[in-house]
Structure 1
Amino acid sequence: MEDPSEQAAIAATPVENEVVMRGNGSYNKNSAIQHIAVMPALEFIPNLSNRKELTLVDYGCSQGANSIIPIKHLLSPLPTHSTIHLIFNDRPLNDFSTLSKTIKRNEATLSRNGELQIYPSIVPVSFFHQIAPDNSIDIGFAWSCLNYLEFLLPPLPSTDLQELVKQRAVRSAKAAHVDLVKLLRLRAREIKSGGVFMSAIPARSSSGVPNVAPAAAALMAATLEMVHAGRISQAQVMGLDMPVHERSMEEMERVFAEVEEVWGKEVCFEKMIQHPAVAELEVKKKAEGVDLEELSKEYASTVVDWAMSPLTWFFVKTLRAGDGEMDEEEMFAPMTAEEEGLVDELAERAKRAFVRDQKDGIVEQCYIYFKLVRK
């Protein structure tokens, strides 16, 4: 007999996830772990020094800050006067204004001061769709984005928060498998035989160490404070259901096995990545006459702002969903002043909770890195 929660999920039609990172350059400013996470992948970027023309896609590029280093690394050995087509891809509601400025600001760096002919373009389509013609791409990157699911999954019936979390984990794991298989098959259509697809994906550590635990605990404490203060409702907290899944290495291997007819696995490993503010805090603590309390507040502010950048729009969407039925235009309209105020309040409460309950706690995130070669 089927589980009632599964029946409820099947009965509802999923809505495509169009939620993106917080705009106005916020993600570029608050994506330090994502920036550091790119670095271990650089040594596996293929040497294309014999190529005179190249097409590269950065899937799920957001506002572009974390795209520049790997692209620069890839282009550095190319012969002078090579032609490079750079395709920057993300969902339609992405902050493409900031992305465009990021590309323009790094134009000289990417072109090696004009030695290379760079032709950038933007494709505002979810990477769960085909975004380029068949056999047109040489290499694809996807940094810190493949943990996001294709759909905003339908609600589950449980009213117990702990039970709800468990049910969501099972449901999201199933969706995540389907999503990644679909995504890799789409990339197999776009990427040429012998081409490469590389990713660093937020994941679940085989060690059992939870991801970003101090920041997550502070945000939960702040959320409950807002409920007790009557700023948001318990129902809204129960409705905060981010379409995200952090896969284990075992889950990744099952996906790779399902697409082995089109992809060969060349590299796959996991690594814990600390927020750079952790090391910066330890260095600052050693200075003479330093105010340790102020340093703790500064650290809390940095890591909470980092956590809020991807969370913000999911939080706002949850607030709006509690107001009744909305069409897509209303759901994704710019934030109101009241909503901005609630987002800022959540962040400030979380920063205080971090200092109070998680003081100087290490914020780190497990990543799984993989490099696939198109057969």
Structure 2
Amino acid sequence: MTSAMEGGGRYNRNASAQAASAVFGLHHLAAAAATAPRGPGGTVTVVDYGASQGRNSLRPVATAVDALRGRYGVSQQVWVFHADLADNDWTALFRTVDEDPASYRRPGVFSAAVGRSHFERLMPDATVGLGWSSIALHWLSTVPGPLQGFWPAGGDADQQAVWSRAAAEDWARFLRLRSAEMLPGARLVVVVGAARGDGPTRGAGAERAMTELATGLRRLVRSGLLTQDEVDAMVVPAWYRTADEWRAPFADSPLVLESLDLVDLGDPIWEQTQDTAGARLGDYGATVAAALRVSFGPALLRAVDPARRAAVATALFDDHLARAVAGQPPEPWFAWRLAVLVVSRPA
């Protein structure tokens, strides 16, 4: 998985595209919660796999709590475990859960954190009644191997084959771990970025922006802010799976893939910065830059000296990318596709 998100609540403020994606899984989550089994002591345990700084978890968890209490009654106790890497910005998460007006917190709902990769066991055997993961499972457990450039979709055929195998192993491992944690009858709802096809047509929908970031990196080398060795070490350890890749592990799994929906999301940032008549509501270039900085910046710049990292991020995203987007004819830069999966452990 990638390094921690930028601190100070920056991810919460700039991850609106991720929030727009999560919406497509909410009706599945409500339906899964309405049948979720109780665990030890009669409590229902909900696990949020890939919580980041928490804001984008509030609505999904509130949806789940409402559905659970619709089934079991308003006094039903619920454990909510937010899982992410140990160096996640947990302070921002708990402040958000405690203070945000949209928080799911209410009497009888308890919050906790698990600071580990979701490629490890996170919960005891047969305790989880409901799982949720939104825009997190594109991250890989490690960098699988060499890559031309930093964006996996740009690798050659041999490199993509290596990355595809590693991504398949990670997805299968994630499911094995969750199957041990889930109660019989429990469901897991996943919303995640998906690829459009295989080979040279494989695209995650962000290729134009990634090409522009590569241009920006070359300029930072020429200016002396980065060295070529630093740029050569940069890689984003993510993989956008095709529908077939999402389905593959279920041929030999105790879990069942109940449904897989593909959603052409388009460019939610464009939609959020335009009104229905096409008038500008916000600065699209600056919003794109801020969104990519919090989404991919920590992974991309991980090898840069921490003392210089913030300055490099500002120069690359807030300066170069924002200006490049603003300098082009006004149009969407992204064509995201989502996979929305409902996975169950049979009763």
TM over 0.5: yes
**Cα pair 1:28 1:65 within 8 Å, conserved:** yes
Q: Secondary structure of 1:152's match?
A: coil
Q: In structure 1, what is the equivalent of residue 62 of structure 2?
A: 72
How far apart are the structure 1 equivalents of 2:152 and 2:122? 39
Q: Which residue among 252, 255, 262 is the counterpart of 1:263? A: 255
Q: In structure 1, what is the equivalent of residue 239 of structure 2?
A: 245
Aligned-residue offset at 1:241: 1.4
What RMSD in Å do the two structures reach over aligned CA positions?
A: 2.8
Aligned-residue offset at 1:21: 1.8
Aligned-residue offset at 1:49: 7.4
Q: Which residue among 337, 342, 347 is the counterpart of 1:371? A: 342
Q: Secondary structure of 2:274's match?
A: helix
Q: In structure 1, what is the equivalent of residue 325 of structure 2?
A: 354
- Residue 333 (structure 2) pairs with residue 339 (structure 1): no
What TM-score, normalized to structure 2? 0.86
Q: In structure 2, what is the equivalent of residue 195 of structure 1?
A: 186
Q: Which residue among 74, 85, 88 is the counterpart of 1:94? A: 88
Aligned-residue offset at 1:254: 1.3
How far apart are the structure 1 equivalents of 2:87 and 2:176? 24
> Mind listing any 5+ residue stretches in structure 2 that lack a counterpart?
none
Q: Which residue among 77, 97, 101 is the counterpart of 1:83? A: 77
Letter in 2 for 1:37: S
Q: Which residue among 209, 219, 229 is the counterpart of 1:225? A: 219
Letter in 2 for 1:31: A
- Against the structure 1 CA distance between its residues 189 and 163, is the aligned structure 2 distance closer, same or farther, given a 3 Å change threshold? closer
- Residue 310 (structure 2) pairs with residue 310 (structure 1): no
- Residue 131 (structure 2) pairs with residue 133 (structure 1): no
Q: Deviations over 1:87-138 (max 9, x none)?
A: 1111111111101111112488424x53xx0111111111111111000110
Q: Which residue among 161, 164, 175 is the counterpart of 1:170? A: 161
Letter in 2 for 1:97: T
Aligned-residue offset at 1:367: 1.0
Q: In structure 1, what is the equivalent of residue 47 of structure 2?
A: 57
Aligned-residue offset at 1:363: 2.4
Aligned-residue offset at 1:223: 1.6
Q: Secondary structure of 2:343's match?
A: strand
How far apart are the structure 1 equivalents of 2:17 and 2:255? 28
How far apart are the structure 2 equivalents of 1:163 and 1:245? 8
Letter in 1 for 2:266: Q
**Cα pair 1:137 1:192 within 8 Å, conserved:** yes
**Cα pair 1:33 1:274 within 8 Å, conserved:** no
Q: Which residue among 36, 42, 47 is the counterpart of 2:26? A: 42
- Residue 6 (structure 2) pairs with residue 22 (structure 1): yes
Q: In structure 1, what is the equivalent of residue 110 of structure 2?
A: 119
How many residues are aligned here?
A: 331
- Against the structure 1 CA distance between its residues 18 and 350, is the aligned structure 2 distance closer, same or farther, given a 3 Å change threshold? closer
**Cα pair 2:52 2:89 within 8 Å, conserved:** yes
How far apart are the structure 1 equivalents of 2:153 and 2:28? 41
How far apart are the structure 2 equivalents of 1:109 and 1:352? 35
- Residue 271 (structure 2) pairs with residue 272 (structure 1): no
Letter in 2 for 1:305: A
**Cα pair 1:203 1:366 within 8 Å, conserved:** yes
How far apart are the structure 2 equivalents of 1:162 and 1:107? 39
Aligned-residue offset at 1:340: 1.4
18-27 or 68-77: which moved more? Answer: 18-27
- Against the structure 1 CA distance between its residues 47 and 162, is the aligned structure 2 distance closer, same or farther, given a 3 Å change threshold? closer
How far apart are the structure 1 equivalents of 2:264 and 2:24? 11
How far apart are the structure 2 equivalents of 1:120 and 1:141? 15
How far apart are the structure 2 equivalents of 1:154 and 1:122? 31
